[in-house]
Homo-oligomer: A and B are copies of this chain.
Amino acid sequence: MIPPQDRRSLLRGLGVGLAAAAAPAWAAPKDRKLGYAIVGLGSYATKQIMPQFAQCASSRLVALVSGTPEKLERYGAEYGIPQTHRYSYADYDRIRDNPDIDIVYVILPNSMHAEYTIRAAKAGKHVMCEKPMAVSSAECEAMIAACRAANRLLMIGYRSRFEPYNRLCIKLAKDRLVGPTRIITAEHGFNAQPNQWRLDKPMSGGGSLMDIGIYSLNATRYLTGEEPILVSAVESTDRSDPRFRTVEDRIDWMFRFPSGIVANCVSSYTSPHNRYRIVGDQGWIDMEPATAYQGQTMRINRNNHTEAGPTPPPANQFVGQLDHLSECILTGRQPIVPGEEGLRDLRLIEAIYRSAREGRAISLG
């Protein structure tokens, strides 16, 4: 049993940070809400992101960019976006002339992230870009340089960093609730449906690792607060499966961190996974699902006893993410997940692929 006073102590200091994402304290006046243009009206944009603006304190949806006129018409009408704020890809650079647009949120296939981020920066806009940031670390570097040259902020859509259970896990690991972390296991995967851009390497840049395995990868970094110094990876793909003609199915890897922590990571396009576990010398903290849109569940094992973890103050991870960038712009701060964070992941993704391809451990950093 975690006694009530310990539970309070576990949560102490967490409320402030979490509340900050949605609290009235930093809700800017309505006319200071920053305007987002959504680029790419696919499923994630329309089903997960766009409905969230209604709850945002510092952000509003002001423009749409799509190559499909029917989508512009449908979602434009649904969200009250006037014709003047609807853009085709050919029109895209005209966003520079629209002062209502402060931020461009790039939710396109991975191979288009770099181009549409750089064009947004050149149009004088701040950028939120979905993960993976791009299909290569070179592209990431170009994106960072473009935003820096334009004096605009660049943030990557690592929503789990705004999800309260993940934030609590970071704190509990840092506070050594189960002792110093020794092992992390992180597993992400799903059964990929055929015939989608994710399975087309020119569009996606890679397979399960770029799409879902990146959650395992990023979690090991935010749960340790360290950067890996060694990676060893093994790929397993049935190339006769028509889904995997150009991209990998499973690619699993191990990281070693400077403190000695080892992380075991799963990435799969043919099996369902969404969990991680932080194992210290005195027990473990388990999250399953760990990085889902909702339903996070935490269990804690100490002294050979397992129980439900504490419940953090509720917060909407999507709202937290959207408002964080707005707030950073309003206050002149850097996002907690800037372009450099996406670049680090891409460098590691490249090292994972290289390790699997060359059949050897790769030293990093």
A interface vs B, CB < 8 Å? Answer: 179, 182-183, 185, 187, 189, 191, 230, 232-234, 236-238, 250, 252-254, 256, 260-262, 264-266, 268, 270-273, 279-284, 301, 304, 359-361
Residues of the B chain whose Cβ atoms lie less than 8 Å from the Cβ of A262: 234, 236, 250, 252, 266
Q: Is the CB of A234 within 8 A of B232?
A: yes
Identify 15 new A-B residue pairs, CB closer than 8 A, beyond the known A183-B273, A250-B262, A254-B254: A182-B250, A183-B189, A183-B250, A185-B185, A185-B187, A191-B281, A252-B254, A252-B264, A264-B265, A270-B281, A271-B279, A272-B279, A272-B284, A272-B301, A359-B360
**Copies of the protein in its oligomer:** 2
| Other-chain contact of A256, B189, B236, B271 (Cβ < 8 Å) | B236
Q: Is the CB of A238 within 8 A of B260?
A: yes
Cβ distance A94 to chain B, nearest Cβ, rounded Å = 44
A sample of 28 cross-chain residue pairs with beta-carbon separation below 8 angstroms, ordered by A number, consists of A179-B271, A182-B250, A183-B266, A183-B271, A183-B273, A185-B185, A189-B279, A191-B281, A230-B234, A232-B232, A232-B234, A232-B359, A234-B361, A236-B261, A236-B262, A237-B260, A252-B254, A252-B262, A252-B264, A253-B254, A254-B254, A264-B264, A264-B265, A272-B283, A272-B301, A272-B304, A273-B284, A360-B361
Cβ distance A291 to chain B, nearest Cβ, rounded Å = 15
Nearest residue, chain B, Cβ from A250: B262
A-B pairs, top 10 by smallest CB distance, nearest first, are A182-B271, A360-B360, A359-B361, A271-B279, A234-B254, A264-B264, A236-B262, A236-B260, A232-B232, A182-B270
Residues of the B chain whose Cβ atoms lie less than 8 Å from the Cβ of A283: 272
Give A236 to B257 CA distance when docked, in angstroms. 9
Residues of the B chain whose Cβ atoms lie less than 8 Å from the Cβ of A187: 183, 185, 279
Residues of the B chain whose Cβ atoms lie less than 8 Å from the Cβ of A282: 272
Give A179 to B270 CA distance when docked, in angstroms. 10
Cβ distance A253 to chain B, nearest Cβ, rounded Å = 8
Q: Is the CB of A264 within 8 A of B361?
A: no
Give A279 to B249 CA distance when docked, in angstroms. 14
Give A237 to B236 CA distance when docked, in angstroms. 28
Q: Is the CB of A271 within 8 A of B281?
A: yes
Cβ distance A220 to chain B, nearest Cβ, rounded Å = 13
Most chain B CB within 10 A, of A236, A264, A265, A271, is at A271
Cβ distance A128 to chain B, nearest Cβ, rounded Å = 29
Cβ distance A92 to chain B, nearest Cβ, rounded Å = 38
Give A261 to B183 CA distance when docked, in angstroms. 22
Nearest residue, chain B, Cβ from A182: B271
Residues of the B chain whose Cβ atoms lie less than 8 Å from the Cβ of A237: 260
Residues of the B chain whose Cβ atoms lie less than 8 Å from the Cβ of A191: 281
Residues of the B chain whose Cβ atoms lie less than 8 Å from the Cβ of A252: 183, 254, 262, 264
Give A283 to B189 CA distance when docked, in angstroms. 11
Give A238 to B179 CA distance when docked, in angstroms. 16
Nearest residue, chain B, Cβ from A289: B304
Give A301 to B359 CA distance when docked, in angstroms. 33
Q: Is the CB of A256 within 8 A of B234?
A: yes
Cβ distance A244 to chain B, nearest Cβ, rounded Å = 11
Residues of the B chain whose Cβ atoms lie less than 8 Å from the Cβ of A271: 179, 182-183, 279-281, 284
